Structure 1
C-alpha cells in the first residue's frame, strides 16, 4: 500500500515537470528580452528563482539527486546574481542559459520508476555507510573512488611450480609476509581470512587449454586483488588476465622482490586529501557558482575579498590550485599572475583562468596559466578540470621529492619533513625518534659484482623498509648507502626493536649476484628527542654519532645516541 502511494506521488511530480520546464523557458526568454534593463526587479526573475529553488529542493527529496544537483547550481547562480552590486550583463545571461539547459535536459528524461526511492536498498552497502567504513580518499562526481584494499600479511599462491613456491616461501618472510600454497583453483577457500592481501594464480593450473576461468574473482572478497602469473608475458595473455578480473599480471620467473613491488603498486592510493582551491576575483555569480561547484564536490575553497589579501591567503592555506577570474578591482588576471610568478613560493602553483572567452567553448589562455576556461562554464567540467590538474601536480611533486632508484624521499624532502615533525612534537610535547641506517660494505659489493648488483641491494632494502615501517613513519634516502627514518611518537626502546627487527630481516635475505647469492647487513644509529627538543642539525648529528659507533663495533649493529635535550 505504501509503495503504491509513493508511486502515485512520484507520478504526479513527474506529470508536473512539463509545466515547470515551460516556466523556466519563458522566464529565461523574458530575461533575454529585458537585458538592456536591470531585470532583477521584474516578475520573470522572481519566478525564475522560485522554480530553480523548488527544483533544487524537490530533486533530492523525490529521489532524483542528479536533477537536484544541477538545479542547485542554477539556484546558487541566481542568488549570487540577485545580491551582486553590478547589473547583469550578457555574460551573466549566457551562464544562466547554460545552467538552465542542463536542468531542462534532466527534467525531460525523468520517470517515476527512475526514482531512488523505489530502488531496493543494498543492505550491505547501507551497513557499511552507517558504520562509516568507507574507502579513504577523495574523488569528484564522475570519477570512481578507488576501493580500499586489505593490507594483510598473507599471500595465497595457486601453483604447482615447486621452484617458485620454494623461493617465495623463503624470501617473503623477511618482508613480514606469509605464503599459503594451494595446488589448484578448486582448493581456494570459499572465504579468505582477514589477513589475505593478495591471491596469485599460476596460469599453468587453469586446465590443459590454459584458459583462465570467466572470473578469477568469483567467490572472493572484493577487497582482495588477484594477480595472474604466466611464463608468456604477451599482450594477448595480459588482455585475457584483465578480462578474467585480474588486478595485475606478473611474468615468470617470480621472486619476492617482484611480489613486494606488485603489492606496492596494487595498494598505492592517490593522495586522499581533498584539493584546496583559492578563488580570486570580483564577487558575483561566477565566483559563487565556482565555489559552490567545488565545495559540492568535496573540495575546500578560500575566497579572498581584496587583492591585498591574496598573498596572505596563499601562505596560510598552501592551496593545490588557484583560480583567477579575469578581472579583480581593476587588475587583470595577467597582472596578478605575473606578480605571483615572481614570488619563489608560487612559481609552480597551478593556476586556472576562468572567464574572458567568447562563449563558444574555446579556451582563452593567459601567459603563465596552466589552464583557461571560457564563460559560460559547465560546473561539472570545472570540477573535473581542477581535480585532474591537482592530481597531476601532486604526482609531479612526488616525483620531484622522491629518489628515482629507491622511491623514497630525497635528502632535501626528508629534511623538510624532519623540520615539520620536530615542530609538531614540540607543540604536542611528544617524543620523536630518528634513525640513520647504512648498508655495510656497499662499495665492496659494487666493486665485486658491479653497480647493478649494488643497486638491487639498495632497492631490496628500500622495499623492506616500506613494507615493515608504520604508515606514519617517514623514510628517506640521504644519498649513497645511507637511509633515514623519522618515527613520530616512538620511544627509544620501541625504535630500537623495530630497527633491530629490520636489520635481522635484511640479513636473512639472499642477494643474487653472478657468483650465486650473498648476504648483506646494515648498521644503524638511533637518537630520541624528548618533546621534539633540538634542531634538525641536532637530530642528524646525534643519530650519525650513534651510526659511527655501530660501524666501529664491527658493523651489523644498532646503537643508541645520548638523548638531545635543549633548554628553553
Structure 2
C-alpha cells in the first residue's frame, strides 16, 4: 500500500529555492508531495500538465515575474486555493491580492504544521458528501415532489410512509435532516418528533415539519414538541431546497464539533464506540466479517519529555493524517484517548486487517518529525481482533487491547492478533 498514492502535489512559486529545502523535506516526510518553481513559465506549465492540491506564491515574486503579473495568468489555469506567503502585509495590499485571486495568507518562515493543517482543512472542505434527507409523509404525491427536487440537487433521499418505522430508518439511514408531515393516520409528526427527542443519539437531528397547516399557533405548537422549522407544502422548489441545504449544513458542522477530537479531527472516544456498535450491527445483518484495531504510539511519554508537547502533538496529528489517508471513511477511525487510536475495519478477515494495519505501521515509522535542528522517528504497536458470535462491542475492544498488550510485550513496533476464542 502506498498511503500517499495519487496525492496531488503542493506547488510553490518563489525565487528563494534554497530557503524552501527544509520545508520541502518536512512536507515530504508527512507524505505531502511538493514542487518549487522559480520561474513563471515553469510554474504555469506545471499547472497546465497536472492537478495541484494548492499553490503557494511568494509575495516578493519569482525570478522573472512579480506577484501581480503571475496571479492573473495562474488563476486562468488553476481554480483551486492560492496562498500568499509574505511578512507584515498592509491590509490594503491584502485586499488587492484577494481581488486578484489569493485565497489566504501565510507568514515567513512558513510553519510546516500550520500549512499541513490548512491543507487538511481544504481537503475536508473539498469532499462533496451529499446531504442525507429522510422524508416521512403518507402522501405519494408529496414524497415524489420532495424527492425529485432534492435528488436533482444531488441529495440522498429516503422515503417512509409510516412514521412508526422511523426508528429503523434513523438507525440504518443516518439522516442529517428529517422532513416530516404533521398529520398522518398512524402517528402525528409532532408526536413522532417528541419520541425522537427522547433518544440521545437522535436528539440533535433537525426535524422540519412539512405540512399544509397555515395556522401559526398550530405551527408553533408542533415545533414545541421537537421540531426545528415549519415549511408549507407546495412552496417554491428553490425555497424548499435552500431551507433543507442550510439546515443540513448547520447540523453537519455542529455534529462535526460534537463528535470529533479537537486535535486530530478524528472521532472522539464516545462516538467511536457508537460507530463500532453500528458497524457490528451491520456486519451481523449482512453476515460479513468485522475487525477492530487498537494503535498505541510507542514510548510517547519520552517524546513529550525530550522534545516537548508541541512535537508530541505533531506526532499524534501525523498518525491521524495517515489514518485518514488509509481509510475510505473518517467514521471508521478515532482517537481512543491520549496517544491511542482505533480503527474499525469492516469486511476484512483478521489476517487481512492485520496486514492493513501493518502497512500503516511501516508508513508511520518512516515519517521524520522535525524538532529544532534534530529529527525523530516514532513507531506504534497495534492489536487486531475479529468479531465473533455473541461478542459485544466492549468484548471486541477488550480483545484488541489484549492483542496490543502482547505486541508491546513482544518488543513494540509490531502488530499483534487476538487468538481465536
TM-score bracket, normalised by the shorter chain, equals: 0.7 to 0.9
- Cα distance in 2 for partners of 1:305, 1:466 equals 38
C-alpha contact 1:363 1:373 (8 A) present in aligned 2: no
C-alpha contact 2:14 2:61 (8 A) present in aligned 1: yes
Q: CA deviation at 1:165?
A: 1.0
- Cα distance in 2 for partners of 1:179, 1:298 equals 33
- Cα distance in 1 for partners of 2:310, 2:300 equals 12
* Structure 1, unaligned runs of 5 or more: 1-149
Question: Residues 502 and 347 of structure 1: is their aligned pair in 2 closer, same or farther, counting only changes over 3 Å?
Answer: same
Q: Work out which structure has the larger RCO, using CA pairs closer than 8 Å and 6 or more positions apart in sequence.
A: 2
Question: Residues 446 and 308 of structure 1: is their aligned pair in 2 closer, same or farther, counting only changes over 3 Å?
Answer: closer
Deviations, residues 54-101 of structure 1 (Å, cap 9, x unaligned): xxxxxxxxxxxxxxxxxxxxxxxxxxxxxxxxxxxxxxxxxxxxxxxx
After superposition, where does 1:361-376 map in structure 2 within 5 Å? Answer: 366-367=223-224, 368-374=226-232
The aligned counterpart of 2:371 is 511
Match of 2:184 among 324, 328, 345: 328
C-alpha contact 1:432 1:532 (8 A) present in aligned 2: no
> Does 2:20 correspond to 1:159?
no
The aligned counterpart of 2:400 is 543
> Does 2:338 correspond to 1:483?
no
Question: Residues 216 and 400 of structure 1: is their aligned pair in 2 closer, same or farther, counting only changes over 3 Å?
Answer: farther
Q: Find the residue that maps to 2:366 and give its secondary structure.
A: helix
The aligned counterpart of 1:391 is 249
C-alpha contact 1:280 1:310 (8 A) present in aligned 2: no
- Cα distance in 2 for partners of 1:233, 1:532 equals 63
Q: Find the residue that maps to 2:135 and give its secondary structure.
A: strand
Q: Find the residue that maps to 1:199 and give its secondary structure.
A: strand
Match of 1:199 among 49, 55, 72: 55
The aligned counterpart of 1:78 is none
The aligned counterpart of 2:239 is 381
Q: Find the residue that maps to 1:478 and give its secondary structure.
A: strand
- Cα distance in 1 for partners of 2:71, 2:167 equals 57
Q: Find the residue that maps to 1:502 and give its secondary structure.
A: helix
Question: Residues 550 and 163 of structure 1: is their aligned pair in 2 closer, same or farther, counting only changes over 3 Å?
Answer: farther
Question: Residues 221 and 412 of structure 1: is their aligned pair in 2 closer, same or farther, counting only changes over 3 Å?
Answer: same
Q: Find the residue that maps to 1:213 and give its secondary structure.
A: helix
- Cα distance in 2 for partners of 1:330, 1:418 equals 33
> Does 2:276 correspond to 1:418?
yes
C-alpha contact 2:86 2:106 (8 A) present in aligned 1: yes
* Structure 2, unaligned runs of 5 or more: none
C-alpha contact 2:354 2:384 (8 A) present in aligned 1: no
After superposition, where does 1:245-324 map in structure 2 within 5 Å? Answer: 245-268=101-124, 269-270=126-127, 272-280=129-137, 283=139, 289-311=145-167, 313-315=169-171, 317-324=173-180
Moved more, 364-373 or 328-337: 328-337
Question: Residues 199 and 336 of structure 1: is their aligned pair in 2 closer, same or farther, counting only changes over 3 Å?
Answer: closer
Moved more, 404-413 or 228-237: 228-237
> Does 2:387 correspond to 1:527?
no
- Cα distance in 2 for partners of 1:163, 1:421 equals 50
The aligned counterpart of 1:71 is none
Aligned length: 406
C-alpha contact 1:164 1:255 (8 A) present in aligned 2: no
- Cα distance in 1 for partners of 2:264, 2:58 equals 29
Question: Residues 364 and 542 of structure 1: is their aligned pair in 2 closer, same or farther, counting only changes over 3 Å?
Answer: closer
Q: Find the residue that maps to 1:160 and give its secondary structure.
A: coil
Question: Residues 505 and 247 of structure 1: is their aligned pair in 2 closer, same or farther, counting only changes over 3 Å?
Answer: farther
Q: CA deviation at 1:422?
A: 4.6
Question: Residues 350 and 160 of structure 1: is their aligned pair in 2 closer, same or farther, counting only changes over 3 Å?
Answer: same
The aligned counterpart of 1:68 is none
Bigger Cα Rg: 1
The aligned counterpart of 1:242 is 98
- Cα distance in 1 for partners of 2:70, 2:354 equals 51
- Cα distance in 1 for partners of 2:315, 2:23 equals 18
TM-score after normalising by structure 1: 0.61
C-alpha contact 1:487 1:495 (8 A) present in aligned 2: no
C-alpha contact 1:279 1:301 (8 A) present in aligned 2: no
TM-score after normalising by structure 2: 0.79
After superposition, where does 1:12-23 map in structure 2 within 5 Å? Answer: none
